[in-house]
Amino acid sequence: MLATLTAASLALTALAPAVPAETNAPPGRVTVDVVTVNGSGCPAGTSAVAVSPDNTAFTVTYSEFLAQTGVGSTPTDFRKNCQLNLRVNYPQGFTYGIAQADYRGFAHLERGATGLQRAGYYFTGMSPTEHRSHPFRGPLSDNWQTTDRTEVAEIIYAPCGEQRLFNINAELRVNAGTSDPAKTTSFMSMDSTDGSVSTRYQFSWKKCE
């Protein structure tokens, strides 16, 4: 199902086109179409995308993104992922790349248990970027936040004049480690007490020559 949302600006990572220096967000209307959503961490109807009014970021909200191990879990619950395919529509003469991605959630890890938040980004038809990983170690029972940041000189932009889908593959993993999975439960989620948490992606815009 295609969900179109008004957008403002986008920053992603891909092959860099011949463009001048970084510029302000483009004027006018930017939209993001959610083409496909796949993965155990985002069943149908449990994720949404919205763009900031100033065209500098977009937000993905999840409501059932949770990985767990131990009491009450199944053998496949230790790993959950979500693959988003997004079509970004923006004024001609501009291109974009992802400069920063911020993830938030809650983790409860028993002593000896470990967790991992991991994400990768790429444009369709281009080589995937290296995944960014953030490990966690128990004992831990608190909100968590991670940031994937790309230096300005290393940001990869969508080719000028081409429409390429932008792909985000986010993942959570939990391992019991030395904790006792028969007596305890450890988990990591990308959600909050109100049932959802936002993952924010900050755009970097450039004008095409």
Q: What is the pLDDT of residues 144-202, one digit of tens each?
A: 999 988 876 678 888 888 888 989 899 999 999 999 999 999 999 986 333 455 688 88
Token digits for 36? 């496909």
- Domain containing 73 equals 3-207
Quick check: 112 and 183 in contact, CB under 8 A? Answer: no
- The pLDDT assigned to 128 comes to 62
pLDDT given at position 155: 82
Which of these, 110, 156, 119, lies nearest to 137 by C-alpha position?
Answer: 110
Positions of the chain with pLDDT under 70: 1-23, 128-130, 152-153, 191-198
Task: Give whole-number Cα distances, 87 to 34, 113, 145, 174, in Å.
Answer: 7, 38, 26, 31
User: What pLDDT sits at residue 135?
Assistant: 97
Q: How many domains does the chain have?
A: 1
Give the pLDDT score at 161: 87
* pLDDT computed for residue 87 by the predictor: 86
